[in-house]
Structure 1
Amino acid sequence: MGRNTRKRSKSRGGKVIAAAAALMLGAGGLVVVNVYASAHETSGGNTVKRSSPGGTGQASASNASTIGCPDVGSRLQQVPGQARAEVDKQLALLDSQISEAYQRLRSSTRAIQQDSDFADNAIMGPLKDKRVATLDRIALAIGRAGDRPRGLESLAACTLRAAGNQSDVGNGPVAADFVDITTVRPNVTAPRVSRKASRGAFTTQCGVNEDKLYNTDNVIVAPGVDNGAHHTHDYVGNQANDAFADNDDFAGGETTCRNQGDKSSYYWPVLRLQDGTEEFDAEQQGGGAEGNTGKILTASEVTLDYVGNANSKVVAMPKFLRIITGDAKAFTNGTANANAAWSCTGFEDRQVTDKYPVCPEGSSLVRTSTFQSCWDGRNTDSANHRAHVAFADPKTGACPRGFKAIPQLVQRLVYDVDAPSLNDDGRSSPFYAVDGFPEQMHQPITDHGDFVNVFDERLMNRMVKCINTGRRCR
């Protein structure tokens, strides 16, 4: 089994769920859950999303709850370059504070039942105090290099939020988080294609992480911070990626891609079978210590395609462009940046976002991440890691004003995994779940992908030419 491989200094050398109850193997043991006592239902075959846990009501601490906090990073539109490192460090600290508070919430069930004020006094109050101090440090760091932001203190308070179908003991998923893919109506559409469209495609082959390179860092969101992701990532392409990698490290790194001109880094949260397996990270932060447990599954197939724009030709991506698609905190943040797409082979004309699909016999699980395909023409990253790129209009393919169309990365991961189901003896086969921040409770809507462009100029130009002339190239 691979290890949490990272270098720490710049001097580094299918079946259908068909019963009313199922047994879940959660972090706290076997938990009985009710499949039909759920806000998840289907209407005419389409998945109906449950209400977002971002509502204003305070959840009863004695019921299944999670912790929802305002996402500070997404609010920071302007951060001076001199302040970026300190701000990233403090944003990562906010994530650690939420993780620690959530773990205490999970371990305090009895105290909460005995004292209705325990959660507020012992968990939520101290969490707010820590966030106030951290937000003040963020404001100070920005103020030293520019205008000090106002109103950050309003983002300090967090709430206990009802966690939907989650049990009081486990941290997800449960049977109601799965849907039979055959009951979902086709829902995948494509934009209208104009005569100016770029119709070609370029495919890069980078393996499936056969070398089992894992770590719990996120060099885009939390550079220089150990365990900045609070969950484990798979990596293909560039092998130098960890929290401390800079552009020089990426440029000099080895790559698993067949074409050595592609040293890009492609990474995503691992998928695990919740079968009780103790992986190498069973006792580590980011792994079992933060609720990410079970056997790590390696994709049987990874497809990395770059496609064109339905409305125009594309231009080359700048080297070291960083893109995040989806939202690792969508369960508490809401769906504004959610981009999860789950499906099954043979049924990829239908996708679900807030459910895990149950695939029929002979069909495999599919995770698809579609990356932003419009670039502001100037920046390789931005303060909130989103503003420098955008999605094209879903109907016309047009980029927002001031943005240029670039090749769009479409990442497709296939897993040969048996779907959870009830066996004849009434016991359930294990659930699978995506790794995530502990308070996100392994919800499928939190799936996401990360990309750092390290194509050499010659290969990038070849990609652009192939796409713009309507050819398919490798």
Structure 2
Amino acid sequence: MGRTSRKKRSTAANRAIAASAALILGGGGLVAVNVHASAGEGASGPPPGRFREAARQLSTIDCPDAGLALPDVPDRARPEVDRELAAMDTQITDAYRQFADRREWIARDPDLAENAVLGPLRAKRTASLDRIGTAVERVAGNRPQGLDGLAGCGLRTDDQSGGDDGGGDGAGGGDGQGGDGGQDPGDGTDQGQDGGQEEGQDGGGGTDGGQGRVGNGPEAADFVDIRSVQPDTDRPRNRRGASRGTFTTDCGRNENGKFNPDNVIAAPGVSNGAHHMHDYVGNQATDAFAGDDDLAGGETTCRNQGDRSTYYWPVLRLQNGRDEDDVDADGGGRDGNAGEIQTPSQVTLRFVGSPVGKVTAMPRFLRIITGDAKSFTNGDANANASWSCTGFEDRQLADKYPICPEGSKVVRSFAFQSCWDGRNTDSANHRTHVAFAREDGRCPDGFRAVPQLVQRIVYDVPPGPGFAVDSFPEQLHKPGTDHGDFINVFDDKLMKKVVSCINGGSRCR
């Protein structure tokens, strides 16, 4: 099967993938000990039995989610708050590197994790939270309550941890604040596949990259044969008066290779605010420092030049032991993301209507994030990942990667929020200004229906569990962390056409 990648890369000569016993991955809410290092490499450190015991004892670190605790931030304080939340993500990533550097010693002496890593991490979080409080108080006159309680991070074992508690500092420092609700996992998603996964672990974050780190996911249980999954799509029926038209914009497949680890929505003004690499199509001016004027004047890859919108999502990599150019760079190897970046074989960007009525124009520079880049630690309340295979798209997976049969391609889909509050183009947590429609297709009270962006991204990758999306280091490349970002930069004329086509039942381009 053919595949496209950014460029051919050389294979690293001497990996430190299994150089020692344990790698503890730091993150907002979780630090996981990875036990899947390749057995084929020379190893030092404690024998496997002691390693696994250390893994059981020091499996997670639980940190409160500062972003979720700050839903209301005054507009004038938001830039500083966003920068501090992004800094807290960087503190977590630095802790991850500290654990990587000390993995052999921590496996022998777990108390070292507390003294050398967790203590300094709490001190840095305390300082950032104090600056957040000062920034809000300066504008609002009142200091947010409970900030002091957000600094603490504690160790716990796997059997104490749950997907719904703990979390990262996501409202400003991550790009995973999707909407109110996601998609339920499809039936049969508990059936993991074991074959070939050790090779995948070798490539998945296993590049030395100057950090001496081992692999950080995914694992065999994160994959499932799509043929074992029952059809599970259930969409609201169109009612009388539904807006049945569509508008499709062609913006390419990122053939020109625009990547960066920024997130201008969730971490504006912060380089490497995402700690993972993004694919971009559409607006070519997009980076962490792009303002509305920059986007309005930016070049676009979209065929219709009236669409200068920004569309971006985490890259997908083959975890085949080969390096990319970013092996020693932020967002790449320095943040635990390794392997060959794959150029999609197809990208479809389609705007659809409401099953219960007409849509209104979305405002220019409306920002929407769907899904949660930190759902592995935050839980699935805002997750909106959807994985499938061509020929099997009536079977959608929310928390597994699909293993597609020969001749079938991997598909990742994003259905963005379709309801807008009628006032704001963004919000403090990047969620509350938009919402998903209810099960009956109607928007929540106070919201109005706007054209819904539905993205479909297809990859021609070899069958089997040899790929993963980029993620924050502590998110372990889990499939449920997938997410998409959109900034509307349609000009007024084209947006009117979009609305007219959708409400009139036409299929337009």
Aligned to 1:175: 220
Match 1:411 to one of 455, 479, 487: 455
Determine whether 1:463 maps to 2:498.
yes
Q: 276-285 or 207-216, which moves further after superposition?
A: 276-285
The TM-score normalised by the length of structure 1 is 0.84
> In structure 1, the residue corresponding to 2:230 is in which secondary structure?
coil
Determine whether 1:340 maps to 2:334.
no
Structure 1 residues 95-119: Cα deviation after superposition (integer angstroms, max 9, x where no partner):
0011111222233232122223111
Distance 1:278 1:161 in 2: 34
Superposition map of 1:195-214 within 5 A:
195-214=240-259
Q: Do 2:371 and 2:483's aligned partners in 1 also have CA atoms closer than 8 Å?
A: yes
Aligned to 1:218: 263
Aligned to 2:374: 329
Distance 1:279 1:462 in 2: 41
Determine whether 1:90 maps to 2:84.
yes
Match 2:231 to one of 183, 186, 210: 186
Unaligned stretches of 5+ in structure 2? Answer: 8-13, 20-28, 32-51, 160-191, 193-197, 202-212
1:455 Cα deviation after fit? 0.2
Go from structure 1 to structure 2 and tell me whether the alpha carbon gap of 1:466 and 1:82 turns closer, same or farther (over 3 Å shift).
same
Structure 1 residues 111-138: Cα deviation after superposition (integer angstroms, max 9, x where no partner):
1222231112222222111111111110
Aligned to 1:420: 464
Determine whether 1:99 maps to 2:93.
yes
Go from structure 1 to structure 2 and tell me whether the alpha carbon gap of 1:123 and 1:472 turns closer, same or farther (over 3 Å shift).
same
Aligned to 1:122: 116
Aligned to 2:472: 437
The one-letter code sitting in structure 1 at the alignment partner of 2:478 is: Q
Structure 1 residues 176-215: Cα deviation after superposition (integer angstroms, max 9, x where no partner):
2110000011111101322121111110000000110011
Distance 2:239 2:320 in 1: 49
Aligned to 2:325: 280
Q: 124-133 or 340-349, which moves further after superposition?
A: 124-133
Q: Do 2:352 and 2:454's aligned partners in 1 also have CA atoms closer than 8 Å?
A: yes
Aligned to 1:320: 365
Distance 1:61 1:30 in 2: 16
Q: Do 1:66 and 1:102's aligned partners in 2 also have CA atoms closer than 8 Å?
A: no
Distance 1:136 1:225 in 2: 19
Superposition map of 1:217-296 within 5 A:
217-296=262-341
1:28 Cα deviation after fit? 4.6
Distance 2:339 2:155 in 1: 27
Determine whether 1:156 maps to 2:151.
yes
The TM-score normalised by the length of structure 2 is 0.78
Aligned to 2:486: 451
> In structure 1, the residue corresponding to 2:85 is in which secondary structure?
helix
The one-letter code sitting in structure 2 at the alignment partner of 1:134 is: S
Aligned to 1:380: 425
> In structure 2, the residue corresponding to 1:75 is in which secondary structure?
coil
Aligned to 1:29: 17
Q: Do 1:2 and 1:280's aligned partners in 2 also have CA atoms closer than 8 Å?
A: no
Go from structure 1 to structure 2 and tell me whether the alpha carbon gap of 1:330 and 1:129 turns closer, same or farther (over 3 Å shift).
same
Q: Do 1:181 and 1:359's aligned partners in 2 also have CA atoms closer than 8 Å?
A: yes
> In structure 2, the residue corresponding to 1:281 is in which secondary structure?
helix
The one-letter code sitting in structure 2 at the alignment partner of 1:131 is: R
Distance 2:263 2:245 in 1: 32
Q: Do 2:6 and 2:342's aligned partners in 1 also have CA atoms closer than 8 Å?
A: no
Residue identity (%):
61
| Bigger strand fraction | 1
> In structure 2, the residue corresponding to 1:245 is in which secondary structure?
coil
> In structure 1, the residue corresponding to 2:369 is in which secondary structure?
strand
Go from structure 1 to structure 2 and tell me whether the alpha carbon gap of 1:192 and 1:257 turns closer, same or farther (over 3 Å shift).
same
Determine whether 1:71 maps to 2:65.
yes
1:163 Cα deviation after fit? 6.8
> In structure 2, the residue corresponding to 1:124 is in which secondary structure?
helix
Aligned residues, how many? 420
Distance 1:392 1:171 in 2: 36
